[in-house]
Structure 1
């Protein structure tokens, strides 16, 4: 970006913030982008707008929690499109994939209503309202099978491209592959130059999907399809696009940004894709992150997270669920009979912000034309999520999740184990033992005396899953040793204060330790010795190297081998270093799932029909005769107090702020 452009762009950004504050985009004063304002007679401004990873989130509504949500929704993103277009000399709108699956609206259409010939899928209906120019496919487009996908795309008012998905086996050359979709399209567009004259330009768009769909959706694709390496496919097809007259080439890469080095069939290949000669700009996605931005991709060689470039070329990743719109602005110049890029900027625009109290504040309203277009399907989905999708043979509650093995945590671990064993059933990790780490999310604390999971025996609806798993985390798995399993549990045991032998009614819970960091690991058995001090502080630093709260740790009935390797399934927060657990970080990750933990729990319930959430009591406190400790929980816990196995508690009266007090007898 030139200094001249930088000054204009920063001034423009201030005006944009004022613009968004007014909400009413069409009536607000719109300031032209600097490229549109300065373009000469032989130049033009072209704005490329991206949505990515919509995951069927059209309405700003969390169907799991059954309530509105201001952080998501294509209807919200859509409401700023008019103003964004008005700032530009010329514009085009693209979607970068993962639009078809990801919330109960998508499941309702796929599993309940179905798609007959001629039907319009609601997400396609909404996108048609907005006038997209082109789209590509993400990995989640294949979750419901190829037949369903083709029925959906038949209703699309714009083309979809994918250069690395073939019918059957790969050919000897990428250009000989029998592809399901056109690898690219070249759109001839009339654009207005700096003098106001209309002139044509040929903009080429080429699309890519992660090769890993052959693993993630093997049941839908095996024997029917194959995928080629993203970079290899691009090297084959981009020169063809240039030969066919594309003035500029835009890569639609449903693939993230990974700077660890190029490898074959790389999942997140966008950085190396950008290095291919002939590609002029790149839209990325898949990782549910933001680029450019202040934190997600700093320090990656070749990626300028401040300027928004990959290998020196403009690039954008626009969050997920409609949280942002990605913008690449190009100043293009007539070069003989064609066009070349002379300057560029990249940015993302959010639909919400957090105030000084971290409260979510919506920056935009719904676009009425979008919500009206799919209102019937939205209302049908509300009925769907409120309807039972399975049964539970025992109540699911978290009142005692911090003092005993717990059914609400158990069912999440059961679902995670079920899922990851299927995902890893082939490949190098298939014979390794699988453990599952899960924590109670609703366990009182600052949330209050009613902030607990409480789902009764009997029917269970999709919205109940919000009680089981609050956050939209995604499933990840790490490869660690038996010694690291023990340290993981030692860190979790920081949930408790030390209870010295003979102590009476001392406070049990460490008020500064969040319940979501109290991981229970299923697949092993162990006890927690509260007479010992904590081994780690809240940041994972060793407090006392001689302290060992985790005792009698066994796998398969035998003392755990410190050197044995285990696959532990967890969520992206923990696997990425969240909570600062010792030695648990992204370098241990061996599997990054395309699914959220919540979706996995829903699928597990549907698969099982009736779930049995009874805790397997794989952990307990070590007996400590003569010692007792006090803890608080919700008053409704009293009805379940007699159901605990191997853990003796006594009602100790009322606590503060509506809580009930109990005594743990060690």
Structure 2
């Protein structure tokens, strides 16, 4: 018998250090520098180990965006790659966000890697140092101390929708179906003598039954013969975990997909995925999995790893200096603690900036007389990010850090023509974040935990009410649940009812215009009047710099229909305790939840 420990990170999003750049303070909850301490401990307790990364390592945090903007490399190359080299990663794959800064930047970052990069369903590599599959050949020790060669095949996958999310890639890159290319990769590796095949799947844990070009294909991938273990990612969940839902082929207690061992180690370096394999050798000399154990080890409160810190320090200092630059001033605090209750001045500021930009560009065109609406969603509103994952910018000076807090992603601003019926449908999809509330019942949970906050689009420029006694029309993933459900009522523009055929310009972002996502059924079929040129973050920066002083109102233009005698429970960040006067509800403070959220009872 021989033991092999597979260690994995995923969705680091440039959180190399344990520093929260948006709050500008150290964090005990995440960072590759903290995960590295767990890596060292796990390696020390194993005779044989592999360290793998599952993608989305190069973009997603202020440091990554700053480095891309200034073309930073440093003496040891890109800081994320340098940190992985320091930790002696064995292999890695790419995630969709790794393409967000363009192919040239990606190529420059990857060329310094001391480990192979594998991307099996990336079909047009255009000179990128990326392989369709990789065979690692390692000498391993069995339980008696004997040395044996082991051939480990590595496959890597990213969502086929990446070319939709990053439109600049469409002319240069094709990404194929995950399962289709996995089958070809498995055959090639097994023919080449692979004892084990590990799939690095930058793809979420979805349905067991495959559909062509599915985004979250980790479960269907695991079901393929020839796959021995899966590293999942992309959706920022933790697996195995008591909090992960079970389903066909999904065992969140044992940590299996289709019976195969799997881990998904959170995001930002919050966890280290560990798969412990017990291997047995057949009479023919082939190794196979006899038993396994899966776990996701949290990094919270562990000391950071100094060698990793040293690789990133120069870029870290430059990032802090850049994001501390003052741009303007706000007369009000910009907080997202009550976004799901209709109050978020920071989100309102983003909407105001988007409308300002679109109005200027459309002023001389054929659409200048149409009302301009602006859709935006909160990127930091708790959820899987935890109780610290909220925007909380105090009134006073606004820095680049403040604006990055309001808009995390490098989306580009777009605008489409929509009807009043489209606006109502758009809002119905957002309203599905709320669970159905029974009139007169007490302490019902308000928010569906499976619904990502970044899909809670609110439209500035209209007003409406939500009837929570009605069922949601859509599931968290956008599937139509009840075509007759109507939660959005009293939809108005400038005080007048919105008619189904009324025309508007809706400002949104390039992600919403892709062929995937919960709004694609509306957005992808509408006429585009502004194609994504400027990044939304840059528009926000220019707007604040032009205005110099901003005071966005907190109310977002909507509220719940009254439900006398009914209460719900709403969890938010503990910092919300400083802003409870902004609530438009009678409320009770219950205390803190076990995971650190402030627990409120709201009277509807």
TM class by shorter chain equals 0.5 to 0.7
Match of residue 245 from structure 1: 193
Matched, 1:296 2:244: yes
Match of residue 127 from structure 1: 84
| CA deviation string 1:416-470 (max 9, x = no partner) | 88999xxxxxxxxxxx99744669989xxxx9xxx9754557x64224544x579
Greater Cα radius of gyration, structure 1 or 2: 1
Query: How much is the aligned-residue C-alpha RMSD, in angstroms?
Result: 4.9
Select which of 424, 432, 455 maps to 1:482: 424
Q: Is the 8 A contact 1:315 1:328 kept in 2?
A: yes
Select which of 190, 193, 199 maps to 2:142: 193
Match of residue 59 from structure 2: 101
Select which of 213, 230, 235 maps to 1:287: 235
Match of residue 226 from structure 1: 174
Structure 2: distance between partners of 1:347 and 1:634: 35
Distance 1:296 1:369, change over 3 A: same
Structure 2: distance between partners of 1:418 and 1:89: 60
Q: Is the 8 A contact 1:79 1:366 kept in 2?
A: yes
Give the C-alpha shift of residue 110 in structure 1.
Answer: 1.0
Match of residue 40 from structure 2: 82
Structure 2: distance between partners of 1:193 and 1:620: 64
Match of residue 209 from structure 1: 158
Distance 1:521 1:256, change over 3 A: closer
What SS is found at the alignment partner of 1:79? helix
Give the C-alpha shift of residue 114 in structure 1.
Answer: 2.8
| CA deviation string 1:146-180 (max 9, x = no partner) | 111111111111110011112289xxxxxxxx987
Give the C-alpha shift of residue 124 in structure 1.
Answer: 1.1
Give the C-alpha shift of residue 235 in structure 1.
Answer: 1.1
Distance 1:52 1:552, change over 3 A: closer
Match of residue 526 from structure 1: 463
Distance 1:235 1:69, change over 3 A: same
Structure 1: distance between partners of 2:235 and 2:249: 18
Match of residue 334 from structure 1: 281
Select which of 388, 401, 406 maps to 1:462: 401
What SS is found at the alignment partner of 1:49? strand
Distance 1:132 1:317, change over 3 A: same
Match of residue 408 from structure 1: 346
| CA deviation string 1:253-274 (max 9, x = no partner) | 1111112742211111111111
Give the C-alpha shift of residue 181 in structure 1.
Answer: 2.2
Q: Is the 8 A contact 2:407 2:537 kept in 1?
A: no
Distance 1:620 1:199, change over 3 A: closer
Give the C-alpha shift of residue 199 in structure 1.
Answer: 1.1
Distance 1:418 1:45, change over 3 A: farther
| CA deviation string 1:104-135 (max 9, x = no partner) | 1112211124348x751111111111111011
Distance 1:550 1:87, change over 3 A: closer
Give the C-alpha shift of residue 337 in structure 1.
Answer: 2.2
Give the C-alpha shift of residue 551 in structure 1.
Answer: 8.2
Q: Is the 8 A contact 2:467 2:488 kept in 1?
A: no
Give the C-alpha shift of residue 297 in structure 1.
Answer: 2.9
| CA deviation string 1:621-646 (max 9, x = no partner) | 9xxxxxxxxxxx9999xxxxxxxxxx
What SS is found at the alignment partner of 1:259? coil
Distance 1:191 1:565, change over 3 A: farther
Select which of 376, 381, 384 maps to 2:322: 384
Distance 1:307 1:487, change over 3 A: closer
Distance 1:88 1:538, change over 3 A: farther
Give the C-alpha shift of residue 141 in structure 1.
Answer: 0.9
Give the C-alpha shift of residue 275 in structure 1.
Answer: 1.2
Q: Is the 8 A contact 2:186 2:227 kept in 1?
A: yes
Give the C-alpha shift of residue 314 in structure 1.
Answer: 0.6
TM-score w.r.t. length of structure 1: 0.62
What SS is found at the alignment partner of 1:109? helix
Matched, 1:322 2:269: yes
Match of residue 72 from structure 2: 114
Select which of 294, 298, 302 maps to 1:350: 298
Q: Is the 8 A contact 2:118 2:132 kept in 1?
A: yes
Structure 2: distance between partners of 1:148 and 1:452: 32
Select which of 595, 600, 605 maps to 2:540: 605
What SS is found at the alignment partner of 2:215? coil
Distance 1:190 1:419, change over 3 A: farther
Instruction: Give structure 1 stretches of 5+ with no counterpart.
Output: 1-42, 170-177, 353-361, 421-431, 472-478, 493-511, 529-533, 541-547, 572-586, 594-599, 622-632, 637-666
Match of residue 644 from structure 1: none
Give the C-alpha shift of residue 284 in structure 1.
Answer: 0.7
Instruction: Give structure 2 stretches of 5+ with no counterpart.
Output: 359-371, 410-420, 435-444, 448-452, 473-485, 510-516, 524-534, 560-575, 580-604
Distance 1:437 1:67, change over 3 A: closer
Distance 1:491 1:168, change over 3 A: closer
Match of residue 131 from structure 2: 182
Structure 2: distance between partners of 1:635 and 1:80: 36
What SS is found at the alignment partner of 2:57? coil
Q: Is the 8 A contact 1:465 1:601 kept in 2?
A: no
Structure 1: distance between partners of 2:270 and 2:422: 34
Distance 1:370 1:228, change over 3 A: same
Structure 1: distance between partners of 2:202 and 2:381: 31
Structure 1: distance between partners of 2:322 and 2:578: 32
Select which of 212, 218, 222 maps to 1:264: 212
